[in-house]
């Protein structure tokens, strides 16, 4: 065997790097700093992209508007059967025992007091005041506004809320508009 040639399988023909030379990578500390920065960005930016609360409130008032339209038609059908479709306010007994004030055969109010709007909302719609705020549409009390609980901050002495955003509005029937007007406002949800 020739002493100048080394054919040992344990030795490589490429030179080994010197001990002070190494390939450069990220240290654990650098990786942790990057992860923390990304986490902070995610926490501050995510609510801007995922506003689930507003979407839920908008869906909630859209559902309430649909339920209100359906309820109005059911009450009106009952009022037609009982022949209570005139301009004079009268009580209409529903099959479940509730008594509802009707005007032109649609749910309405006799007066403009806090008790009247409370009666309209809780009796006609069977709405739980723990889930919804409700108040007058205008100072003359021509209807009611209903909003998800906690969206409006001003409450009157009678327990009625001043509702200005994120609501469903019910305007009682009048001589010029014998069917109630039902609409929703999604601003501020």
What local confidence, expressed as pLDDT, does residue 56 receive? 87
Residue 4 has pLDDT above 70, yes or no: no
**Cβ–Cβ under 8 Å, residues 104 and 87:** yes
Residue 80 pLDDT: 93
Q: Distance between alpha carbon 82 and the CA centroid of its chain, in Å?
A: 37
Lowest mean pLDDT among 49-53, 61-65, 68-72, 85-89: 49-53
Q: Across residues 65-81, what is the average pLDDT?
A: 91
69-83, 148-162, 175-189: range with lowest mean pLDDT: 148-162
CA nearest to 123, candidates 91, 88, 89, 83: 91
Dihedral of the alpha carbons of 111, 117, 118, 119, in degrees to the nearest 10: 60
Question: Does the pLDDT value for residue 37 go beyond 90?
Answer: yes
* Strand ranges, E, within the chain: 90-93, 99-103, 106-107, 132-136, 143-148, 167-171, 181-185
Contacts of 24 (CB under 8 A, 6+ apart): none
**82-112, pLDDT tens digit by residue?**
999 888 888 888 888 888 888 899 888 766 6
Query: Higher-confidence residue: 26 or 81?
Result: 81
Burial class (CB in 10 A: 0-12, 13-18, 19+), 178: middle
**Of 27-31, 35-39, 176-180, minimum mean pLDDT range:** 176-180
Of residues 117 and 106, the one with the higher pLDDT is 106
Query: In the prediction, which pLDDT does 2 show?
Result: 52
For CA atoms 30, 36, 39, 43, give the dihedral sign: negative
Mean pLDDT of 133-146: 73
Q: Inform me whether the pLDDT recorded for 24 exceeds 90.
A: no
């Amino acid at each position: 065997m020739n002493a100048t040639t080394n054919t040992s399988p344990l030795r490589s023909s490429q030179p080994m790097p010197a001990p002070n030379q190494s390939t450069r990578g990220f240290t654990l500390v650098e990786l942790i700093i990057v992860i923390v920065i990304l986490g902070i960005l995610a926490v501050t930016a995510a609510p801007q992209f995922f506003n689930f609360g507003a979407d839920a409130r908008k869906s909630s008032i859209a559902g309430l508007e649909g339920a209100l339209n359906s309820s109005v038609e059911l009450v009106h059908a009952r009022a037609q059967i009982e022949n209570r479709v005139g301009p004079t306010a009268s009580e209409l007994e529903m099959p479940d025992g509730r008594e509802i004030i009707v005007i032109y055969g649609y749910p309405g109010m006799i007066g403009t007091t806090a008790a009247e709007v409370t009666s309209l909302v809780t009796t006609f719609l069977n709405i739980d005041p723990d889930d919804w705020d409700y108040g007058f549409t205008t100072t003359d009390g021509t209807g009611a506004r209903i909003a998800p609980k906690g969206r409006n901050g001003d409450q009157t002495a009678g327990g009625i809320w001043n509702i200005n955003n994120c609501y469903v509005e019910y305007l009682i029937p009048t001589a010029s508009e014998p069917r109630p007007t039902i609409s929703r406002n999604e601003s501020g949800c």
